[in-house]
């Protein structure tokens, strides 16, 4: 009895804190299924409700930062699966679930959620063909986003190496189901786009239930595929399985193995393609040459091509005309000048003293100077008279003046 009195005494706060430490350290994050009741969304954005089954209940809280990503509308009576940690609220001594995620419970609820997201993205145009990117025919590098340990990755690598040994393969291992799977898949798609190392992406996993494939029905994965600049092939599950990722992807493969066959061509297909390309190239070259020859022939026969020659001929004729006109003008000018020279010559001839002398006249020179007036000589001056056939010398004996 004395041991009880001597044992440690806890305060209420200390006891609640001790219980909190024991409980929270004992339980990792866990899934709990039940029915929602007492659903109370707070104006702050936090969500409060009770999760119950036929015999028990537990309080739940989801903080605003996580509540905004819930893909469904919550309400009383809804069957859900929640993921969270066991927490103790020290002030009241109550334990509760601090929730990370809320999912509808059962296939029926998942199918409703699937259809709801499908209609939403369809209305936004994420499934339209106009947004689909063409898958490259001969990719040099292929990126694969899938589980690193599943059968899907083995089949993918085996078929890719067999069909196209030279194609480089880059694998990004991710979780493909369960908590955090959609985050890893979306982040890997974004990483491949950021690094820009590959020509095409294969995103997928092997078959499973709707719940197993659910990560590929998450909105964040769908939007990552839609926003990818690298073409994406969706390869999720079996041929009968359809996910939101299939609708958004640039190409849907019924299985991962089929995705590998769609992504690369085998050697025989490449050989046929090269032969066909060579034939089409030769035909195209011949047609181009034929077309050019036709164009050259048309040009040679066209007025535009022959016009330069015609212009040269016209200018040549014009030169001839101008030359003739110039020749005529020169001859005319020479003729006029000849006539003028002849008139001048005739005039000068009439003024030539020799011609005057021939007509019986003579010239009187006094000391070599022509005498044209009586006043130029004096009596007894000796003058020289020039006649047509010689000269005479005379002595002036008398001067007489004639009235004019």
Residue length of the chain: 404
pLDDT of residue 200: 97
Q: Tell me the chain's radius of gyration from C-alpha atoms.
A: 61
Q: Exposure of 236 by Cβ count < 10 A (0-12 exposed, 13-18 middle, 19+ buried)?
A: buried
pLDDT at 306: 62
Q: Exposed/middle/buried for 62, CB within 10 Å: 0-12, 13-18, 19+? A: buried
| 155-168 b/e (C-beta count within 10 Å ≥ 16 → b) | bbeebbeebbeebe
Task: Give the containing element (helix H, strand E) for 252.
Answer: strand 251-252
Partners of 251 in beta bridges: 233
pLDDT score recorded for residue 191 = 96
pLDDT at 235: 92
Residue 142 CA to residue 158 CA, distance in Å, equals 13
pLDDT of residue 224: 96
- Taking the whole predicted model, whether its pTM rises above 0.85 is answered as no
The pLDDT of residue 202 = 96
Q: All domains of the chain, ordered by start, with CATH? A: 2-105 (2.40.50.140), 112-127+139-264 (3.40.50.261), 354-395 (no CATH)
Per-residue model confidence (pLDDT) at position 232: 96
Q: What is the predicted pLDDT for the residue at 147? A: 93
pLDDT digits (tens, 9 = 90+) for 195-222: 999 999 999 998 888 888 999 999 999 9
**Alpha-helical regions (H) of 243-360:** 244-248, 256-263, 267-301, 303-351, 353-358
**Sign of the CA dihedral running 116, 118, 123, 124:** positive
| pLDDT single digits (tens) 298-324 | 777 766 666 666 677 777 777 777 788
Query: What's the confidence (pLDDT) of residue 131?
Result: 93
**CB 245 within 8 Å of CB 192:** no
Which pLDDT score is estimated for 105?
78
At 218 the pLDDT is 92
Residue 92 tokens, joined? 């009241």
Q: Are 295 and 287 in contact (CB under 8 A)?
A: no
Residues of the chain with pLDDT under 50: none
Which single residue is written with the structure tokens 């996993």? 205
Query: Facing residues of 234 across strands?
Result: 203, 252
């Amino acid at each position: 009895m004395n041991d009880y009195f001597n044992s440690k005494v806890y305060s209420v706060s200390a006891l609640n804190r001790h219980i909190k430490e024991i409980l929270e350290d004992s339980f990792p994050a866990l899934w709990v299924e039940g029915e929602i009741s007492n659903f109370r969304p707070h104006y702050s954005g936090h969500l409060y409700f009770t999760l119950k089954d036929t015999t028990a209940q537990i309080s739940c809280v989801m903080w605003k930062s996580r509540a905004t990503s819930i893909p469904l509308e919550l309400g009383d009576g809804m069957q859900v699966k929640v993921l969270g940690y066991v927490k103790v609220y020290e002030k009241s001594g109550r334990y509760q679930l601090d929730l990370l995620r809320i999912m509808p419970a059962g296939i029926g609820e998942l199918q409703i959620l699937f259809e709801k997201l499908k209609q939403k993205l369809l209305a936004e145009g994420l499934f339209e063909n106009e947004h689909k990117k063409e898958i490259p025919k001969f990719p040099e590098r292929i990126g694969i986003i899938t589980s690193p340990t599943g059968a899907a990755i083995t089949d993918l690598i085996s078929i890719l190496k067999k069909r196209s040994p030279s194609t480089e393969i880059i694998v990004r291992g991710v979780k493909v189901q369960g908590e955090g799977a959609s985050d890893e898949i979306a982040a890997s798609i974004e990483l491949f786009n950021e690094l820009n190392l590959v020509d095409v992406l294969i995103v997928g996993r092997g078959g499973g239930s709707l719940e197993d494939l659910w990560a590929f029905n998450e909105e964040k994965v769908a939007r990552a595929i839609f926003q990818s600049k690298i073409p994406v092939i969706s390869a999720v599950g079996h041929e009968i399985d359809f996910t939101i990722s299939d609708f958004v992807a640039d190409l849907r493969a019924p299985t991962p193995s089929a995705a590998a066959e769609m992504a690369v061509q085998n050697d025989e297909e490449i050989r046929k393609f090269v032969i066909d390309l060579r034939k089409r190239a030769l035909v195209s070259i011949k047609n181009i040459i034929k077309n050019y020859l036709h164009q050259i022939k048309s040009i040679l026969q066209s007025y535009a091509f022959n016009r330069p020659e015609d212009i040269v001929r016209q200018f040549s004729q014009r030169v001839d005309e101008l030359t003739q006109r110039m020749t005529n003008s020169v001859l005319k000018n020479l003729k006029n000048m000849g006539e003028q020279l002849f008139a001048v010559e005739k005039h000068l001839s009439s003024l030539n003293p020799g011609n005057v002398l021939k007509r019986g006249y003579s010239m009187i020179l006094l000391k070599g100077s022509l005498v044209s007036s009586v006043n130029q000589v004096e009596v007894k001056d000796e003058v020289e008279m020039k006649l047509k056939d010689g000269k005479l010398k005379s002595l002036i004996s008398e001067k007489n003046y004639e009235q004019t």
